[in-house]
Structure 1
Amino acid sequence: MEAAEIRKLADLEDKHWWYRERRAVLARALDSLAKAGAKPGRALDIGAAGGGNTRVLRSRGWNATALEYGAEGAAVAHGRNIPVIRGDAVALPLADEAMDLVVAYDVLEHIEDDKSASNEIARVLRPGGVALIAVPVDMALWSEHDTAVGHVRRYDREGLLSTLTSAGLQIEHVRSWNVLLRPVAAWRRKKSTGSDLTDLSPVVNLGLTAVIAAERYLPVGKLPGVSVLVRARRPLRTVR
């Protein structure tokens, strides 16, 4: 993602409906892990950008570090007092089995060699460690927005799961996200001339927040959405 987009994201993420709900998605995923008995440990937030997800991790007690490829993203995180390291997702600057949790929300679609990135996620997870992954789906939704924010693909569900399982990760949970607003996204993407990372009027922002938040209570996780969310785990005995 270009430096200008990183700065734009950082400026928007605290108030924009999409980023706010994505943080809520992560918070609920962490709460589910806690209910299942997982205790906070070491966590890595790959492609942290403005650091919003890293802050969620830290608020839930995780010893979380942001990872950014570029100097601009790292500077944003550092400026927000978020622990950050620079590194490439296809060659993470971490030892084997260094992490209890890896979060890669909207990262893999930016990486040409997503298989190597997935292998690296599996490598740095301890046996039993968890990966939380989110990616945009459906090439039918491809638009100038994807180009502007540096996507190299939008996934189909089967392709994503195949990439993760080939890395030795076991899939535990999969669901679609941003289902209710998919028709709106499809319509807007047809008219898109660039990034959708724009400031919105408070009324529009509130309305979109209400719609996407409604998905928390509706059984829509198997319907087509704009994104897909995956929870995967490195097996106690790695299978490759």
Structure 2
Amino acid sequence: MDTVEIQRVVAIEDDNWWYRERRAIVARELRRLGVPGRAADIGAAGGGNTRVLLEHGWEAIAIDASPAAVELARLRGIDAYHGDACYLPLSTGDFDFVMALDVLQHITDDRTACGELARVLRPGGTALISVPCDLALWSAHDVALGHVRRYSRDTLAEVVEGSGLVLDRMWSWNVLLRPAAKWRRHRSAPPDVERLHPVLNAGLRAVAMLERRLPLGGLPGVTLFARAHRPEL
């Protein structure tokens, strides 16, 4: 993600339905974990998700490969550092929770990156990962965002488990909006990160909030989430 794209994300993410709902998923997972500890947000961009960790009482740091993203996160009061997801500047076994949301699809060597998530977790620690799914949704949108792949359930499970993590749960997100996403992403020009009309934004958020209450996680969606843990010694 380049500097302009990061700045656009920071400008809209507080109100945009997609970023708000993704933060709601993070918050739900943190509530499930209970007592806060040390956490790292890998590929944090401007730190929007890192702030969720802080709001829930976690001692959290942000890591991003972009110096511009690190600077933006620091300007927002976040403890942020420059680092490559394949060579994290973090101590082994030092974190209770790590997350890499929409990161692995940008990395050619995703196995090494996932292995780094496992390395920095303490035994019993939890990782939360999200990726775009299904090659049927591949479009100019993916190319514009620098994606090198989309995942199936099998390929994501293979990467997660190949890193030494134990996969606890995998689920789909944006199942209800998948048909609209497929139509939009196969337009001739990739959409920019944009501020939506308030009515459209509210409507999309209402659909996403409805999805929280429905048992749709096993159906095809736009995004896959995986929760995993590092085995106890």
1:122-137 to 2 correspondences below 5 Å: 122-137=118-133
Contact 1:5–1:149 (CA<8 Å) still a contact in 2?
no
Contact 1:2–1:149 (CA<8 Å) still a contact in 2?
no
CA distance in 2, matches of 1:99, 1:69: 20
Please, which moves more after superposition, 142-151 or 15-24?
142-151
Specify the alignment match of 1:11 in structure 2: 11
Q: Deviations over 1:75-117 (max 9, x none)?
A: 1101101110110000001111011110111110111110000
Distance apart, 1:3 and its partner CA? 1.2
CA distance in 1, matches of 2:203, 2:45: 26
Q: Deviations over 1:21-78 (max 9, x none)?
A: 00001101111111xxxx2111000111121110000111110101111111111101
CA distance in 1, matches of 2:151, 2:41: 21
Residue 82 of structure 1 aligns to a residue whose secondary structure is coil
Q: Deviations over 1:185-215 (max 9, x none)?
A: 0011111512442111000000000001111
Specify the alignment match of 1:217 in structure 2: 213
Distance apart, 1:155 and its partner CA? 0.6
CA distance in 1, matches of 2:82, 2:191: 25
Unpaired runs of at least 5, structure 2 = none
1:108 maps to which of 82, 87, 104: 104
**Percent of counterpart pairs with the same letter?**
54
Specify the alignment match of 2:158 in structure 1: 162
Question: Counterpart of 1:155 in structure 2: which amino acid?
Answer: Y
Q: Is structure 2 residue 111 aligned with structure 1 residue 119?
A: no
TM-score normalised to structure 1 length:
0.95
Residue 154 of structure 1 aligns to a residue whose secondary structure is coil
2:46 maps to which of 28, 44, 50: 50
Contact 2:45–2:66 (CA<8 Å) still a contact in 1?
no
Residue 39 of structure 2 aligns to a residue whose secondary structure is strand
Specify the alignment match of 1:22 in structure 2: 22
Q: Deviations over 1:119-174 (max 9, x none)?
A: 10000000000000111101111111111111111111110110110100001111
TM-score normalised to structure 2 length:
0.98
Specify the alignment match of 2:190 in structure 1: 194
Specify the alignment match of 1:70 in structure 2: 66
Question: Counterpart of 2:22 in structure 1: which amino acid?
Answer: R
Distance apart, 1:4 and its partner CA? 1.2
* 150 and 131 in structure 1: CA distance in 2 versus 1, 3 angstrom threshold: same
1:60 maps to which of 21, 45, 56: 56
1:184 maps to which of 177, 180, 187: 180
